[in-house]
Structure 1
Amino acid sequence: MATTSAPPFAELYSPGRPFTWPELQSLAADGLLTRLHQRGYTLPEVTASPQLRARAAATAVPEGIRQRVVAGRMTAAWIYGCAEEPDRLALLVDAKRRVSSLRNTRGCTLHEVRLGPFDVVSMGGLMVSSPLRTALDIALHVDAVRAIPALEGLLARPERDVRLRLLVLAIESTPRVPHKKAALEKLSLLAPALVSGGPVDVKNAVDPPDSTEDVAQVLGVAHLEREP
């Protein structure tokens, strides 16, 4: 007797998979489903993990471009569980790729950037900016009201894969980073001792192995958004 396999993404329900949008809303109103993101629901007992949120974000990215873009900024912060879901997906596109064909992607904001080998991770069928790259981009490009809580969440991740001192050093040590002053002002609100309104005291800011050159390479500070 043949067995039927479980439907793909059984933990995640979005319009057409397999219920219609009105059906999903009705099931949620009855308490049978819990809203995960704008147009996606899960069973109440399912834990919203980063992998599941990445899977949910992937369903909102047209399949034809899914392997050409990277979820970043506040979208990545939401995937990591450090921010509310933004109204529009923030998608990073490597400057080495052609962007013109992606301009009409609906519901998304595209950012042409340079991405290094440490800047991207894969989860839930979607490429996502790494926690370190996410924190760096948020400090540089997101307004303080939204950026500071997201940065606090990224810094508090149990994996301890984002270190505030490295973020400060990475931004301070690169001369041509756009919005550098504003980024340091945001970070100073999280740790005034590390940012005193001037250059960071790199002698005491990080452990000896974390030289400026090493930090710049690991955090990808040479791979930031291109100036117009």
Structure 2
Amino acid sequence: MAADGVLTQLYQRGYLPPGAHASPQLRARAASLAVAPAIRQRVVAGRMTAAWIYGCAAEPDRLALLVDANRRISSLRSLRGCTFHEVRLGPFDVVSMGGLMVSSPLRTAVDVALHVDAERAVPALKALLSRPELGVRLRLLRLAVDASPRVPHKRAALAKLAALVAPPAAPDAAS
């Protein structure tokens, strides 16, 4: 039916009828279909996957799944189409949406700033900040990144956040 234009593919095995809006709940539900039911409650969609779920990034090739450091992940490593990241998750870092646990908008923005290359991170961060319903504010995001204890790439993350407010570079006058 998708080949005939009757349905629009949302993510792998998820489809929408024509004219239907892809909400965060529907994106999360579509992503959840790619995660085995046995582990669905042990993983959290994060980073660019969560940014896509919130409508702030392109559909990911592979799901980025976060696993709390207190849980064993050895049994999860064989899941195809997913990348696992062992992290520490706080009580306010996760929301339930569409049958899948998803990193909160603020946690998503922090992770994108810290762990995603600038070329993909800056547009996603701009989109996350531009949606008032997500509640992510630049000052809060900067404080959250700054408060991250001893994480790699913190300086690069702060540079990405600075790029969000920097005026665009002027064209070279010599050209």
TM-score, normalised to structure 2's length? 0.91
SS of match in other structure, 1:137: helix
Q: Which residue of 1 is the match for residue 171 of structure 2?
A: none
C-alpha displacement of 1:45? 2.4
Q: Answer whether contact 2:12 2:34 (CA < 8 A) is retained.
A: no
Structure 1 residues 50-59 or 156-165, which shifts more? 156-165
Q: Which residue of 2 is the match for residue 191 of structure 1?
A: 165
The whole-number CA distance in structure 2 between the counterparts of 1:100 and 1:62 is 15
Q: Answer whether contact 2:96 2:102 (CA < 8 A) is retained.
A: yes
Larger radius of gyration: 1
- Amino acid of the residue matched to residue 150 of structure 1? A
C-alpha displacement of 1:157? 1.1
> CA 1:32/1:181 → structure 2, altered by over 3 Å: closer, same or farther?
same
Ranked by relative contact order (alpha carbons within 8 Å, sequence separation 6 or more), the top structure is 2
After TM superposition, the structure 1 = structure 2 runs for residues 156-175 of structure 1, keeping only pairs within 5 Å, are 156-175=130-149
Q: Deviations over 1:16-59 (max 9, x none)?
A: xxxxxxxxxxx123221112123432101221100000000000
1:115 aligns to 2:89 (yes or no):
yes
The whole-number CA distance in structure 2 between the counterparts of 1:164 and 1:57 is 28
Q: Which residue of 1 is the match for residue 30 of structure 2?
A: 56
The whole-number CA distance in structure 2 between the counterparts of 1:31 and 1:173 is 48
- Ranges in structure 2 where 5+ consecutive residues have no aligned partner: 168-175
Q: Answer whether contact 1:171 1:177 (CA < 8 A) is retained.
A: no
Q: What is the Cα-based RMSD across aligned positions, in Å?
A: 1.4
Q: Which residue of 2 is the match for residue 77 of structure 1?
A: 51
Q: Which residue of 1 is the match for residue 109 of structure 2?
A: 135
Q: Which residue of 1 is the match for residue 153 of structure 2?
A: 179
- The number of equivalent residue pairs is 167
The whole-number CA distance in structure 1 between the counterparts of 2:148 and 2:37 is 36
Q: Deviations over 1:55-107 (max 9, x none)?
A: 00000001110010000000000000000111100000000111111111111
- Amino acid of the residue matched to residue 118 of structure 2? A
Amino-acid identity (%): 75
The whole-number CA distance in structure 2 between the counterparts of 1:175 and 1:133 is 14
SS of match in other structure, 1:188: helix
The whole-number CA distance in structure 2 between the counterparts of 1:174 and 1:86 is 26
1:47 aligns to 2:21 (yes or no):
yes
Q: Which residue of 1 is the match for residue 68 of structure 2?
A: 94
- Ranges in structure 1 where 5+ consecutive residues have no aligned partner: 1-26, 194-228
Q: Which residue of 1 is the match for residue 80 of structure 2?
A: 106
Runs of 4+ aligned structure 1 residues displaced above 6 Å come to none
- Amino acid of the residue matched to residue 77 of structure 2? R
- Amino acid of the residue matched to residue 165 of structure 2? A
Q: Which residue of 2 is the match for residue 223 of structure 1?
A: none
C-alpha displacement of 1:167? 1.2
The whole-number CA distance in structure 1 between the counterparts of 2:116 and 2:9 is 26
C-alpha displacement of 1:175? 4.6
Q: Answer whether contact 1:40 1:56 (CA < 8 A) is retained.
A: yes
> CA 1:48/1:180 → structure 2, altered by over 3 Å: closer, same or farther?
same
